[in-house]
Amino acid sequence: MTAGVFAALLAWGMVTGIDLVSFLQVMVARPLVAATVAGAIVGDSMSGVLVGMLLELYALEVLPVGGARYPDYGPAAVAGTVAAAGGGMAMLGVGAVVGLLVAYAGEGSITILRRRNTRRVREAAASLDAGNFRTIQRVQLGGITWDAFRALLLTGAGLGLALAAQRWPPVSPRAGILLTAVLAGIGLGSAVLNGKRLVQGRGGAAWLGVGIAGGVAWLLLR
Amino acid sequence: MATPSVTAFVRSALRLLTVQAAFNYERMIGVGLGYASEPLLRALPGGREGQHYHEALGRAAGYFNAHPYLVGLAAGATARAEHEGVPGPQVERLRTALVGPLGAVGDRLVWAGTLPAASAVGLALSAHTRAGVGAAALLALYNVPHLLLRVWGLVAGWRHGTTLGRALAAPMLRGSLTAIGPIAACAIGFATPLVANRLVGDLDLAAWAAAVVGAGVAVVVLRLLSPRFGALRLALVAATAIVLGTAL
């Protein structure tokens, strides 16, 4: 991997990291988007799409309500794509595991950032209450800056893990296929369960069933 | 009553894109609401150096939490109330009253509706079209309503002020809330077989069996343990078992 590609991946991971909460929230942080772009950067679009699809199934379970903690799948998808690139279906599962580990670490990093923000807000409480715009601006823009730093570190660590996994795969190609299949199965099971929960009341299973029937019919008739 | 300029509304709308930047456990997104409201408060009597401006801005930066895309409703409504000279404690009560409804409506409309629906369409397209089409569809399907919702919120908040409840009772919003859940569930259902076919369709029988077992275990375990123990953790446990199992 060239330094230019590495820098582009770092920058992209950082953008997806701040998009999750701090800035824009236009969903470039979704694994399907983050991994697809990462795949294009590393020159293996197909690995990017497949890693993105696999991690997107897991991201469907995230419901970021209130002060909930949730994984950071943007940098995770970037790292997962790098791990899977060029390895076919045998490395897809390894890429997904790298992605899931980074997403999990990202959850912890978001909590640390929020605690840091809380300390800054406590320190500036009197000035905030007095309606001092400079203080509000400093706290607000400081939050974005620290989140960008968090996302950069997370992406960097994820890329390190991904390159290590690519160089020293933790499983044989045969076990890699098994890993891919099991992770796809868990992701699909989770997606179905979460799809059912989207409908209030008792109609969830029916709507989900209609969709599944449509999908199966499409596969059979295309 | 002096009305803020169009530039002030545009500035406020842009700042709303950063509303969660300083998310914290003390004031939640209150600082972000203050930051986004500030351009609308500049036209208060006395201007930026005036007492009214500072008092209003101090109130705006207090505790607040809601769905981030609907914070514009609160920013517009409270700024309008400040311009109309509504007493400070009443503005505070308005803010407090908005926390629950704006959170509930936004969570249902966006996090449990538009986002999973757009994601499912992106997944379905990714499974059977060229690379990038699914991701582009996800972004387009999600961001058109997302950005419209943000702009509508700010404008409707300013228009309704303290009678903001009318904006939340708009037929379009109510209809969307009813329809979006079934649409999202149906879209996820449609995407599921397509994604399964793409991810494991070309694999051998043993891998297919492993995927079916994985899906079955996920449904059972997650029904019992979610949200404390979600799919991510289950996948990491399964991956650890496979890596260790094949190494031994």
Tens of pLDDT, residues A26-55: 999 999 999 999 999 999 999 999 999 999
**C-alpha to C-alpha distances, B158 to B56, B66, B79, B163, nearest whole angstrom:** 15, 17, 7, 10
Looking at chain A, the whole-number percentage of residues with pLDDT higher than 90 is: 94
Asked whether the predicted pLDDT for residue A201 surpasses 90, the reply is no
Residue bearing the bigger pLDDT, A18 or A203? A18
pLDDT given at position A202:
80
Looking at chain B, the whole-number percentage of residues with pLDDT higher than 90 is: 94
Burial of B1 (0-12, 13-18, 19+ CB in 10 A): exposed
What does the pLDDT average to over A67-87?
Answer: 95
Residue A153, min C-alpha distance to chain B (Å): 18
Query: What's this model's pTM, rounded to 2 decimal places?
Result: 0.97
CB contact under 8 A, B65 and A57: no
pLDDT given at position B247:
81
Do residues A92 and A50 lie in contact, with contact meaning Cβ atoms separated by under 8 Å? yes
Cα separation of B215 and A186, whole Å? 5
pLDDT given at position A68:
84
What does the pLDDT average to over A86-111?
Answer: 97
Give helix then strand counts, H and E, for chain B.
Answer: 11, 0
pLDDT given at position B8:
98
Nearest CA in chain A to B138: A33
pLDDT given at position B148:
97
Of A18-32, A192-206, B104-118, B200-214, minimum mean pLDDT range = A192-206
Of A25-34, A184-193, A200-209, B14-23, minimum mean pLDDT range = A200-209
- Average confidence score pLDDT of chain B: 96
Supply the DSSP string of B79-131, one letter for each residue: HHHHHTT--HHHHHHHHHHHHHHHHHHHIIIIIIIIHHHHHHHHHHHHHHS-T
Cα separation of B86 and B103, whole Å? 24
CB contact under 8 A, A131 and B57: yes
pLDDT given at position B166:
86
Pick A181's closest partner by Cβ from B59, B207, B226: B207
Cα separation of B231 and B223, whole Å? 11
Interface test with A, best of B91, B190, B229, B243 (most A CBs within 10 A): B190
CB contact under 8 A, A194 and B126: no
Comparing CA positions, the residue from B142, B141, B172 lying closest to residue B156 is B172
Pick A198's closest partner by Cβ from B32, B103, B112: B112
Interface test with B, best of A115, A129, A183 (most B CBs within 10 A): A183
Asked whether the predicted pLDDT for residue A69 surpasses 90, the reply is no
User: Is A198 at the interface with chain B, CB within 8 A?
Assistant: yes
Pick A61's closest partner by Cβ from B206, B217, B231: B231
Nearest CA in chain A to B132: A36
Q: Which pLDDT band holds residue A179 (cuts at 50, 70, 90)? A: very high
pLDDT given at position B164:
92
* DSSP bridge pairs for B64: B28
Comparing CA positions, the residue from A66, A136, A117, A69 lying closest to residue B26 is A117
Comparing CA positions, the residue from A100, B5, A28, B35 lying closest to residue A36 is A28
In total, the C-beta contacts within 8 angstroms joining chain A to chain B are: 363
What sign has the CA pseudo-torsion A39, A45, A48, A49? Answer: positive
**B52 sits in which H/E element:** helix B51-60
Asked whether the predicted pLDDT for residue A129 surpasses 90, the reply is yes
Asked whether the predicted pLDDT for residue A67 surpasses 80, the reply is no
Q: What is the DSSP letter of B24?
A: B
Cα separation of B60 and B157, whole Å? 14
What does the pLDDT average to over B146-170?
Answer: 94
Q: Which pLDDT band holds residue A65 (cuts at 50, 70, 90)? A: confident
Asked whether the predicted pLDDT for residue B46 surpasses 90, the reply is yes
Do residues A211 and A194 lie in contact, with contact meaning Cβ atoms separated by under 8 Å? no
Asked whether the predicted pLDDT for residue A2 surpasses 80, the reply is yes
